[in-house]
Structure 1
Amino acid sequence: MNIEVIPQKIHKDTKLSLAAAKKVQVAAYARVSTDSDEQYTSFEAQVSYYTKKIQENPRWELVKVYADEGISGTSTKNREAFQDMITDAKNGKINMIITKSVSRFARNTVDSITTIRKLKEIGVGVIFEKENINTLDSTGELLLTIMSSLAQEESRSISENVTWGIRKRMSDGKYSLGYSRFLGFEKGKDGKPIINKEEAEIVKRIYREYLEGKSTHQIVSELEADKIPTPAKKVDKDGNLMCNWRPSTIISILANEKYKGDALLQKTYVTDFLSHKAKKNNGELSQYYIKDSHEAIIPPEEWEMVQVETARRNKPSYKHSGATVFSSKVVCGDCGAYYGLKVWHSTDKYRKTIYQCNHKFKRTEKCSTPNLSEERIKQAFIDSLSQLDRAQVLEDCNLAIETLRNDDTSEVRVRRLNAEIEVVVELVKKNPNMEQVEIDAYVTKYEDLVKKLNAEEHHLESKCAAIKRVEVFAANLKNLEPIIAEFSPRLWNLLLEKAIVGRDDTIKFVYYSGIENTVKI
């Protein structure tokens, strides 16, 4: 009996031909998912281990140890080193990849299988040491699918435990801030926010200028002109702090309750552990509001004034212009158009700026309301404030606030409509086999109730806004000096709804409290 030995032709791990003189181009992939010191030690150990392992094999040639540090493994999209490795493999630079385990490669079954199949199509294998899986084996993909599913469940479990821990801390009133992107605060020794005095001045400036009537775009322009760094503290290629502000950043700062010393927790939540996408919490989960949780940069009263001002500017019927402090406030008594700034003799020594009706010459009949200088408007406002019987006005404000608060008509209607909607929903749930005619009737009923509910909720929001507006008016009036010596842009913006210019050289001042008076100019 003759026995012929057929020599080995391919490598048992890489499945590549042994006849080829060229060494197998091997890469390794390492990853840790947090930035802790212990994990960093593990990270360094992985890199060192694979470098040594590949270099010790005479058939292998080290391409590179690709490593992602401090990045979650639930998705491959945000792992730069991983993506670079896959690109190099597609470009023929890698024949084989070694990694510690399936969970190091990816904890997402779909990502794992998709990536492995793409690599397999171009003859690149992946060896998972812990599970002893070679993806080029016939059983490799089946084993990988099973192991990836287990890794995904492990990731889900870890995510749920972390989420539970975070929510438990919130319910106990404990929280942390993203200090690296949070203007005005830094982490104190006890872990709580403390004020960064230099940055706090920027926050105060933003609030002050907003209450003086400036738009968010104007504030952005002036911060950039003064070379004020943004909260993110990003640097350019030369290492200089960048100053490219955005209106959305200003809006976020103005709306953040942490600047008045409070903290609203769980504003957002992660929808699932794979995508890590955050969604605004509109009531899907509990929230936790902590009053006086830390030192305030902005007095609570001023913060509330800003929220009232923002609500006013966001009204569909209101168009805010921050061109000057008088924009969108001074109104023509003849046609109802706003007054605008005009420049006469702009290029000679007789140059003069005045305010006049924007539609003065646009109608068939020219408006007869007078042109006004800035000083005349300012003095008229001072005179108007001085004429107010403050004690009586404050009494009227308190009565108005009490009346609005005692009117619970909208609250009662909202509760009743919500109860009716729940009844309709339960009836549909209990009768899954109802006829289409009945379904259509319930749908119509449901839509009608929702429409009424939305209207009542809007009315309720309007009532709350009115209460806040009168409270702001009363607070500012109460703090006025006995004698008003100079014009205040802040008071103009916070107290006054509009100033109507009459053709008889008068201005009627209409305040947010509903008080009106007329001044001769």
Structure 2
Amino acid sequence: MSNVKVIEPSKSSRRQRSRFIENQMRVAAYCRVSTDSEEQKTSYESQVLHYRQLVETKPEWDLVDIYADEAISGTQTSKRMEFQRMINDAVDGKIDLIITKSISRFARNTLDTLKYVRLLKEKNVAIMFEKENINTMTMNGEMLLVILSSLAQQESESISANVIMGLKMKMKRGEMVGYNGCLGYDYDPETKSISINEEEAEIVRYIFNRYVEGAGCFVIAKELTKLGYKTKKGSIRWHESTVRAMIKNEKYKGDLLQGKTFTVDPITHRRLDNMGEREKFYKENNHEPIISDEMFDRAQEILRMRSSRYNTKHDSRKFSRMHAFSSMCVCGFCGGTLIRRIWHHGTNHEKPAWQCAKCIKEGRKVCEHSKGIKEEMLEEAFVTMYNKVQKLFDTDIDEFLNNIEEALDVNSLRDEVKDLTIQIKKLEEKSQKLLDMRLEEKITEPDYNKKHHVIEKELNEFRDQREDRYETLQGEESISTRIKGFRNAFNHELKMDQFDRDILDNFIDKVIVGGKDEDGNPMPYALTFVFKAGIKFSDDFYEKVAELGTKMETEILSSYAKYDGKPAVTFASNTACGNLHIFIEEISELIISSPLQNEGTVESLIMENYRII
């Protein structure tokens, strides 16, 4: 074992930047007062005198300077010029020890205290807090930081809690809090209100109009960039996420939702989206709208449908829809998504086509029957199917949609939601008055808690009822909106001569490519167009349907096959109540059995929509 000599540390010397100084310390003092009152001025002069006398009593101390800020708040160290000068001198090696009266004099914000203590310790500069009797060089460093960190967290949490409570009270009163700018509106800081900026509002209207027409967020962003429109921040480059955020923004229909995000803790200031962990505050008709309720609701419905389609366990991609059939085509054999490829790329014969992604990436062993299909064939099939449904509309589908609309109870549900909202508002006002009485000490805390508990219980019951009614209302409004859209598409005599993407986006949910016939034989070119025609009824409607043993489905389908270079399309309804067959070659042959067995009853409306195969 080797002999190791231990060299003991020398307590009488301290290492500085470029020299050793024995038994002598360069000392600075810091003092501050927060106001310019006569009393505080006297305090300031007393502090200066105190430190001069203190240094004179210590032979081993050399006074470097006394740094003093007058009539300056301690919360913002960046505004204290003398404080900043002292820190710079310390970092430059001109100071060994800083003396100050207390932590609050050094920095009222203890987070700043912790920051500067760490900075100066790295430079071998000590700080002595007289009131707390803390010397950062003689006290255990880690223990000191724990204490200061604890103080910082306690103070920050206390301040943060008070601020949050104040903001919540403002939100409950309907006041706008933390406005960050919104394209289409100008903010008045004096009145804390927003008003329409007509020039910007035109951009907002353009975005919503294009989205409802069927354009995706990615496409709209490209259009806005090409047109040279500017964002609220002045950028001429638009992004898909910006457009999507605007479509979600309730301010454009005149409402105000606050509490969308919350701070996790006051130390890190990390913010998260409020997914229900904290309260939110919604105020209707808060300001002048740019977009009508109908258009805003239609946009949200399209957004929900697109999101639900693509936010699956295996596919969390953002929805962009660069091409008409992007993220819309599904393989009828393996369920995978079809992707767009260019056949004969780089030649005069290149053609866009759609192929099963699983088959391409994992091979035929995963999806042996799928085949690529040209984009023009998909477009041609859609045009053919649309024109056939157009001819059918006046004879059969219109009557079916009328029966569905009669079953909806939208107006009654709206009245219920409105009445419940009024009741909730009254209880919230009652709760606010009760809180004011408690703050003014007009009632005792036990009385307040007892009455507050009763009000909160009623509020929760009414809120649950409203949420339930609102969900049902949204479903039925969605049905009504889709039916209106369906009518708009087919309730006219216009024939589609060429492929129209807007109509595809508005009415087709997905396209299933490939499938098997009744005998199980693969049909790689069979196409199924699934329409957006879903309908949701009340609970007791579903119970009656369940009693009938009827399965409710939501699809309008079309099969497409290529025979001898000529497309053949077959249509038929496939519900529990009836059948409808139409063949493209023999359009005159129409076999219809009544789809409604018992007209006028709930049981007669078991079909959620029309199905064409």
TM-score computed with the length of structure 1 as normaliser = 0.57
Query: What SS does the aligned partner of 1:510 have?
Result: strand
Contact 2:254 2:286 in 1 (8 A): yes
Match for residue 286 of structure 1 among 263, 279, 285: 279
- 1:265–1:212 distance in 2 versus 1, CA, 3 Å: same
Other-structure match for 1:392:
399
Q: Where do 5+ consecutive residues of structure 2 fail to align?
A: 1-20, 53-61, 414-468, 515-522, 534-553, 559-568, 570-583, 586-613
Report whether the alignment pairs 1:380 with 2:384: yes
Structure 2 residue 486 is matched with structure 1 residue 477: yes
RMSD of Structure 2 on Structure 1 (CA): 6.0
**Partner Cα separation in structure 2 for residue 175 and residue 207 of structure 1:** 24
Q: Which residue identity is paired with 2:492? A: P
Tell me, in whole angstroms, the C-alpha distance in 2 between the residues paired with 1:144 and 1:110. Answer: 11
Q: Cα offset for 1:305?
A: 2.2
- Corresponding position: 1:329 with 2:328: yes
1:250, 1:296 → 2: CA distance?
Answer: 18
- Equivalent-residue separation in structure 2 for 1:483 and 1:84 (angstroms): 82
Answer with 269-278 or 503-512: which moved more.
503-512
Per-residue CA deviation, residues 328-352 of structure 1 (Å, 9 max, x unaligned), is: 334566776666555566556x556
Give the corresponding residue for 1:499.
511
Distance 1:26 1:196, change over 3 A: farther
Quick check: 1:103–1:151 contact (8 Å CA) kept in 2? no
Partner of 1:420: none
Which amino acid counterpart does residue 516 of structure 1 have in structure 2?
I
Q: Provide Cα deviations, 1:289-348, integer angstroms capped at 9, x if missing partner.
A: 112222333433233224423333323366756231122334566776666555566556
Distance 1:297 1:93, change over 3 A: farther
Does the aligned pair in 2 maintain the 1:265–1:288 contact within 8 Å? yes
**Measured at CA, do residues 160 and 479 of structure 1 come closer, stay the same or move farther in structure 2, by a change above 3 Å?**
same
Q: Distance in 2 between matches of 1:183 and 1:31?
A: 44
Deviation of the 1:187 alpha carbon: 0.6
Q: Which amino acid is 2:380 matched to?
A: R
By how many angstroms is 1:470 displaced?
3.2
Distance 2:259 2:28 in 1: 46
Q: Does 2:258 align with 1:268?
A: no
Which of 553, 556, 566 is matched with 1:516 structurally?
Answer: 556
CA contact (8 A) 1:260 1:303 kept: no
Q: Distance in 1 between matches of 2:480 and 2:105?
A: 58
Partner-residue secondary structure (3-state), 1:179: coil
- What is the rounded CA distance, in whole Å, between the counterparts of 1:226 and 1:463 in structure 2? 41
Conserved 8 A contact 2:187-2:193:
yes
**1:436 corresponds to which residue?**
none
Contact map agreement 2:114 2:148 (CA 8 A) in 1: no
Match of 2:301 in 1: 305
Partner SS, residue 322 of structure 1: coil
Distance 1:204 1:343 in 2: 36
TM-superposed CA distance for 1:72, in Å, is 6.9
DSSP-derived class of the 2:312 partner: coil
Separation in structure 2 between the aligned mates of residue 151 and residue 321 of structure 1, nearest angstrom: 46
* 1:436-475 matches, cutoff 5 A: 470-475=479-484
One-letter code of the match for 2:486? L
The 8 Å contact of residues 183 and 203 in structure 1, kept in 2 or not, is answered as yes
Q: What fraction of aligned residue pairs are identical, expressed as a percent? A: 29
- CA shift for structure 1 position 128: 7.4
Question: 1:370·1:505 contact (CA, 8 Å) conserved in 2?
Answer: no
1: CA distance between counterparts of 2:389 and 2:74? 60
**Which secondary structure does the structure 2 equivalent of 1:395 belong to?**
helix
User: Do the aligned residues in 2 keep the contact of 1:206 with 1:219 (CA within 8 Å)?
Assistant: yes
- Tell me the alpha carbon deviations over residues 414-447 of structure 1, each in whole angstroms, 9 at most, x when there is no partner: xxxxxxxxxxxxxxxxxxxxxxxxxxxxxxxxxx
Partner Cα separation in structure 2 for residue 145 and residue 176 of structure 1: 35
The amino acid that maps onto 2:384 is A
Aligned equivalents of 1:330, 1:229: Cα separation in 2: 34
Equivalent in the alignment of 1:489:
501
- Residue 431 of structure 1 corresponds to none
1:187 aligned residue: 187
Correspondence for 2:580: none
Does the 8 Å CA contact 2:513/2:525 hold for their aligned counterparts? yes
Alignment-mate amino acid for residue 113 of structure 2? S
Question: Could you tell me how far apart the structure 1 residues matched to 2:92 and 2:346 are?
Answer: 66
User: 2:282 is paired with a residue of what secondary structure?
Assistant: strand
Structure 2 distance, partners of 1:353, 1:84, is 71
CA–CA distance in structure 1, aligned partners of residues 309 and 85 of structure 2: 50
Q: Is the 8 A contact 1:102 1:128 kept in 2?
A: yes
How many residue pairs were aligned? Answer: 416
- Give the Cα–Cα distance (whole angstroms) in 2 for the partners of residues 262 and 269 of structure 1: 20
SS of residue in 2 equivalent to 1:516:
coil
Rounded to whole Å, the distance in 2 between the matches of 1:85 and 1:250 is 49
Shift of 1:277: 3.5
Counterpart in the other structure of 1:178: 179
2: distance between equivalents of 1:501 and 1:373?
Answer: 11
